[in-house]
A and B are shown apart, each in its own frame.
Chain A
Amino acid sequence: ERNGSHFNYGAYHSLEAIYHEMDSIASDFPDLVSRVQIGCSFEHRPMYVLKFSTGGEQQRPAIWLNAGIHSREWVSQATAIWTARKIVSDYQKDPALSAILEKMDIFLLPVANPDGYVYTQTHNRMWRKTRSLNPGSLCVGTDPNRNWNASFAGQGTSANPCSEVYHGPHANSEVEVKSVVEFIQNHGNFKCFVDLHSYSQLLMYPYGYTVKKAPDAEELDEVARRAAKALASLSGTEYQVGPTCTTVYPASGSSIDWAYDNGIKYAFTFELRDTGHYGFLLPASQIVPTAEETWLGLRSIMAHVRDHLY
């Protein structure tokens, strides 16, 4: 366990335990980290982010790391909390990370869908969506990664509340999505948005809602390939790289498409490890190796952003 903490980063945890560890990290490193509440979920659970900042002006250029938006993708939340501890452990030890934090702030949201996450642990391990109620339907929840205002209700979504890709009644109808959108818009100076999912070993960039090439597609492709190479350097885990629409399938209303269309150039989705045997049920023994290799990819992206601020 890192630095004498009693939190086992190689295990899956309850929401309460994750939030407690976030608080511990902030308490252990008060000059670098603070835990910030950005809103509440549909079922009134707090939504906490960790803000990593070495100070400087009020709204420095910033990076948003999003995890756990689809609640059953547990290695995403687990990787995120590991990453939080990695950042504080390596600051002032890793020159690349220190250089990033000297110029930019990092915001990390380990559990973007708290209600869904709790539901996977109390009722249904396979739950993906939020837990918001749909008037007139027995089916619960909206796909929070189809609810962003980026070609909302377009291809790759469904108007059926019972569908796993139900887009919701309108863009940002999900308070979990709205909270992130409002925070980022109010901040006004985000340069990078990375969304962690599982599973498939993919590193994708906009767009999901159209086959049309994003204006920065060439640069994003270069950045992504470099990140995938860095990731693979640890254990040989190979990632496929490309725009969402042509790498997997059309998907409208996604977080990174919204981010990109709202001025956040460096927008990427990671689909984490797929061993071919477990799907979403990646064994806990795989958490740390997955997080370690993902970190190399993330750091590569963040270093590029640091050197290419706009």
Chain B
Amino acid sequence: REKFLGDQVFRINVRNGDEISKLSWLVNSDNFKLDVWRSPSTFGRPVDVLVPSVSLQPVRSFLASQGFEYSVTIEDLQALLDDEDEEMQHNEGQ
């Protein structure tokens, strides 16, 4: 099974059309292998993106350089997945 060691999920605030364009470029860029959980929209909703561990530094740099506000909503994705797995296995056992 695929592991997501070191991967994180960022919630990025989007304030205007210019930021939407920049973020759309980021998420569509093949370089960072981002997985979009909530897509950029034209209407000011935050964007959620799964950032692989290898891309954390460049993505953070990009967001900082472009003045984006963001938070890390999931710091340790694999830990959450492990918890979910454990719970399913426990339930199956029961």
* B15 at interface, CB cutoff 8 A: no
Within 8 A of B (CB), among A68-88: none
Say yes or no: A200 contacts B38, CB within 8 Å.
yes
Q: How far is the CB of B38 from chain A (nearest CB, A)?
A: 6
Say yes or no: A125 contacts B87, CB within 8 Å.
no
Chain A residues with CB under 8 A of B87: 11-12, 283-284
Given contacts A200-B38, A248-B41, A249-B41, contact A281 B84 (CB under 8 A): yes
Given contacts A248-B41, A249-B41, contact A124 B2 (CB under 8 A): yes
Within 8 A of A (CB), among B33-86: 35-43, 45, 48, 50, 73-74, 77, 80-81, 83-84
* A292 at interface, CB cutoff 8 A: no
* B94 at interface, CB cutoff 8 A: yes
In angstroms, Cα B3 to Cα A125, docked, is 9
Given contacts A246-B43, A249-B41, contact A11 B91 (CB under 8 A): yes
> For the side of the interface on B, what is the size category?
20 to 34
* B5 at interface, CB cutoff 8 A: no
* A126 at interface, CB cutoff 8 A: yes
* B9 at interface, CB cutoff 8 A: yes
Say yes or no: A125 contacts B74, CB within 8 Å.
no
Q: Which residue of A lies closest to B83 (CB)?
A: A283
Q: Which residue of B lies closest to A125 (CB)?
A: B81
Q: How many A-B residue pairs have CB under 8 A?
A: 66
Chain A residues with CB under 8 A of B73: 276-277, 279
* A93 at interface, CB cutoff 8 A: no
Chain B residues with CB under 8 A of A283: 83-84, 87
Chain B residues with CB under 8 A of A279: 9, 37-38, 48, 73-74
Given contacts A122-B1, A125-B2, A279-B37, contact A248 B84 (CB under 8 A): no
Say yes or no: B40 contacts A12, CB within 8 Å.
no
Say yes or no: A8 contacts B43, CB within 8 Å.
no
In angstroms, Cα B93 to Cα A8, docked, is 12
* A44 at interface, CB cutoff 8 A: no
Q: 0/1 per residue, B1-40, Cβ < 8 Å to A?
A: 1101000010100000000000000000000000111111
- Other contacts beyond A199-B38, A246-B43: 17, CB < 8 A: A11-B88, A13-B91, A124-B1, A125-B1, A125-B4, A125-B84, A126-B50, A249-B39, A249-B41, A249-B43, A276-B11, A277-B74, A279-B9, A279-B37, A280-B37, A283-B87, A284-B87
